[in-house]
Amino acid sequence: MPVDFQCPSAVKVARTWSVAKPRRLGRLALRGAAAVALAYILTPLLFVTWLAFFRQEIPSFPPEGYSLRWFLAIAGNDRFVAGFLLSLELAVIATGIGLLLGLPAALALARSKLALPELASSMLLLPLIVPGIVLGIALYVFQVEAEIASGLPLLGSLGGLIAGHVLIVIPWTVRLVSASLVGLDRSIEEAAQSLGADRWVTFRRVTLPAIRPGVVAAALFSFVSSFGNLEMSLFLVGPGRTTLPIAIIQYLEWKIDPTIAAVSVLQIALIGAAMLVTDRFVRISRMV
Amino acid sequence: MARLRIDGVSKRYGEVDAIREVTLDVADGEFLVLLGPSGCGKTTTLRVVAGFAEPDAGSVALGGRDITALPPWKRNAGLVFQNYALFPHLTVAENVAFGLEMRKIGAAETARRVGEALQLVRLEHLAQRLPRQLSGGQQQRVALARALVFHPDVLLLDEPLSNLDAKLRQDVRVEIRELQRKLGLTTVMVTHDQEEALTMADRLVVMQDGAVRQVGTQQDLYERPCDRFVASFVGRSTFIEGEIEAPGRFRSRGGLSLACTAAKLGPATLALRPERMLIAAAPPAAVDNNLPGVVEFVSYLGATVDMHVRISARERVVVQIPNRAGDAVPKVGQQVHVAWLAANGIVFAGTASS
């Protein structure tokens, strides 16, 4: 069959059509996959939120009616209130210490010319990879040994709990600050120095503002990972010291009324609010 | 403003000599340009002066004070970067004020001097903008104002024009030069662009492989290049290799016998500037060198035309002729005569391949 070389436009049309069609299909598939994933994430959250407003004590469908009694029940439950306050305190302190340690570490990793950083940065991400239970047991055993060796009351102490939480927030601070340092133009630091700023002033006035999105994102993710941590905390809490996730687990052992759902809704609301506030300063989706 | 002395400075990065024994003296108020291809050491030299590269040997003195061991923030050098390096989170005015703030100058005085500096670069109306809201040329001027406002002892410019488009570059060249003259700034600029170097400098330094090849005015470098590299980097040259067989007599590898001004016998390279040669249909009278040739290639540049003419089996020269109205431009394949004065040929001892 003779090929028609006289009509390149027909070839072109055919080609653009055949390219456009899979491209449009691809985009549809992508959107479909995203929708499925989003539904997968949101469905439990929506159900929990719905459940929190059920009136009856035993969760069953359809609801017998709606009320706010379970939210009021939280306020009357000392364990939840104390757990919330402890988790908040822990998350704030661990985030603060995590930043103080993680920020210089990220700077050192970005600036060091040695071969070490590869290894060091992998090590710093370890707490993220090691399962929480393993981390908890390891820290527990370590604290037992350390207490025997030193005679200091470490086991179940607030300090021990904070140390554990610092450990799990460090990967976030190092990773997110490192990511923002990669895009940093070093010449603005040199410019500051040529204008008379020493290293510290350069860091404070030029480097820090430039990497601020990364630092804010690091603080947010540190806070969230500490606030929601359950497995590791289980091994580190002492008598009379219960974090919110632990309080929830303990409550669930005896009761399944919607109080838990109400607590979860408050937790979701707190983290959601933190993300919204942060998002005003930096686009989180660009950082992670 | 002050005199800058760089004395025997060397800097190694690992196994590589970035610069070797660089010695330069920049007079008070002088505009010195470091010119060379990339990797020649010009930027390293500038970074040594700014304090960002610590020399392995040698010293740097500014205004009679040895600054070799001082950190960058104690040197009082104004620096303009290739990418401008403006602080993205500060406004134009805050960028310019930064150096004054570091020097603990009061708010009123700072405001006055920032205003003055922005006026100098004609940007006072953009004082409250952020750098990203400015064009490349405007950012460049902010960088300049920021480097000038604190009255530095020396102004250092690192390829300041290479990110501007060609038309703007022409204007900014003149602007920077006029500003530098007006303020009497001792200035060192780094560039790889010879035209930029020639138009702006009081004196030029040609560098290659980490070493200074030649220091001099435009005329010095152009009329009396010290070696083949300088002759090729400043202006253009056609090189003919051969030997001096008798005083004033050059024999090319292609067998041409040419008149020249060199007397020392031995292998030599003859450099010819394209615009110092003539081309004619008939042999011109009373010219030292006069050779028949065939036009092999013509490139029409507008104001001038380059003719590539074969003068022997092994040699071809480029002749630049003015493109005057009414002149017939020779065509490819045409027989012509190429001529030049012996004094216009520059002879270097040795050849590239020997």
Alpha-carbon gap: B98 to the closest alpha carbon of chain A (Å): 7
**What total number of domains does chain B contain?**
2
Nearest residue of B to residue A188 by CA position?
B85
pLDDT band, very low/low/confident/very high, at A283 (cuts 50, 70, 90):
low
B308-318 average pLDDT score: 92
The CATH code of the domain that includes B17 is 3.40.50.300
Q: What Å distances lie between residue B350 and A43, A249, B269, CA to CA?
A: 83, 89, 6
Q: β-strands B154-158, B57-62: how paired?
A: unpaired
Measure CA A225 to chain center: 5
**Same-domain pairing of B110 and B38:** yes
Measured in whole angstroms, the distance separating CA A97 from the mean position of its chain's CA atoms is 16
User: Is B168 among the domain residues?
Assistant: yes
Residue B122 domain flag: yes
Beta strands in B231-314 (DSSP E): 238-246, 249-252, 257-259, 266-272, 278-280, 289-300, 304-310
Burial class (CB in 10 A: 0-12, 13-18, 19+), A169: buried
Chain A nearest-CA residue for B97: A195
Residue A5 is predicted with a pLDDT of 42
pLDDT score of A22 more than 80: no
* Closest by Cβ to A209, choosing from B81, B85, B89: B89
More confidently predicted of A236 and A59: A236
Q: Is residue B354 assigned to a domain?
A: no
- Could you give the CA distance from residue A237 to residue B18 in angstroms, rounded to a whole number? 59
Is pLDDT at B156 greater than 50 in this prediction? Answer: yes
pLDDT at A7: 43
Question: Residue B282's domain spans which residues?
Answer: 237-349
User: Span A105-125, mean pLDDT?
Assistant: 78
Region B49-56 average pLDDT: 92
Contacts of A187 in chain B (CB under 8 A): 81, 83, 85
* Residue B333 shares a structural domain with residue B281: yes
Q: How confident is the model at residue B269 (pLDDT cuts 50, 70, 90)?
A: very high
CA distances in angstroms from A214 to A217, A273, A279, B203, B266, listed in the order given? 5, 19, 12, 47, 67
**Residues composing chain B:** 354
Q: How far apart are the CA of B292 and the nearest CA of chain A, in angstroms?
A: 52
B332: pLDDT strictly greater than 50 = yes
- Domain end, chosen from B229, B257, B288, is at B229
Q: Which CATH number does the domain housing residue B273 bear?
A: 2.40.50.140
Contact B87 A187 (CB under 8 A): no
Q: Cβ contacts (< 8 Å) between B81 and chain A: which residues? A: 187, 190-191
Of residues A59, A93, A54, A46, the one with CA closest to residue A70: A54
∠ CA B189-B191-B197 to the nearest 5 degrees? 80
- Residue B188 has a pLDDT of 95
- Domain assignments of chain A as residue spans, ordered by start: 1-52, 73-287
What average pLDDT score do residues B46-75 get?
A: 92
- For the ranges A25-39, A77-91, A125-139, the maximum mean pLDDT occurs at A25-39
> B349 pLDDT exceeds 90?
no
Q: Is A4 helix (H, G, I), strand (E, B) or coil?
A: coil
Is there a single domain that holds both residue B186 and residue B64?
Answer: yes
pLDDT for residue A259: 82
What pLDDT, on a 0 to 100 scale, did the predictor assign at position A284?
55
Tokens (6 digits) for B78 = 């104004």
Is residue B205 situated within a structural domain?
yes
pTM beyond 0.80: the answer is no
Nearby residues of A76 by Cβ (< 8 Å), 6 or more positions away: none
Question: Same structural domain for residues B207 and B319?
Answer: no
Residues B28, B163 within the same domain: yes
Task: Tell me if A193 and B83 make a contact (CB, 8 A cut-off).
Answer: no
Q: Does B72 sit within 8 Å of A190, measured CB to CB?
A: yes
pLDDT over threshold 70, residue B187: yes
Note whether B306 and B262 are same-domain residues. Answer: yes
What's the rounded mean pLDDT across residues A188-195? 94
Looking at the structure, do residues B182 and B89 belong to the same domain, yes or no? Answer: yes
Domain stops at, among B229, B253, B270: B229
Quick check: helix, strand or coil at residue A283? coil
**Contact, B248 vs B263, CB < 8 A?**
yes
B88, B197: one domain: yes
pLDDT at position A6, please?
Answer: 43
Residue B169 lies in a domain: yes
Q: Which residue has the higher pLDDT, A240 or B39?
A: B39
Taking residues B89-94, report their average pLDDT. 93
Same domain, B256 and B154: no
| CA gap A273, A271 in Å, rounded | 5
**The CATH number of the domain covering residues in A73-287:** 1.10.3720.10
CB contact under 8 A, B73 and A190: no
Structure tokens at A270: 């707190």
Q: Could you tell me if B218 and B341 lie in one domain?
A: no
Residue of A184, A186, A194 to mutate when probing chain B, most B C-beta within 10 A? A194
Residue A20 has pLDDT above 70, yes or no: no
**B52 and B110 within one domain:** yes
* Neighbouring-strand partners of residue B31: B187
Partners of B189 in the beta sheet? B33, B157
Is the pLDDT score of A133 beyond 90?
no
Contact B75 A192 (CB under 8 A): no
Quick one: B18 and B103 in the same domain?
yes
Domain edge (last residue) among B229, B249, B282: B229
pLDDT of residue A4: 41
**For chain A, what percent of residues have pLDDT higher than 70?**
88
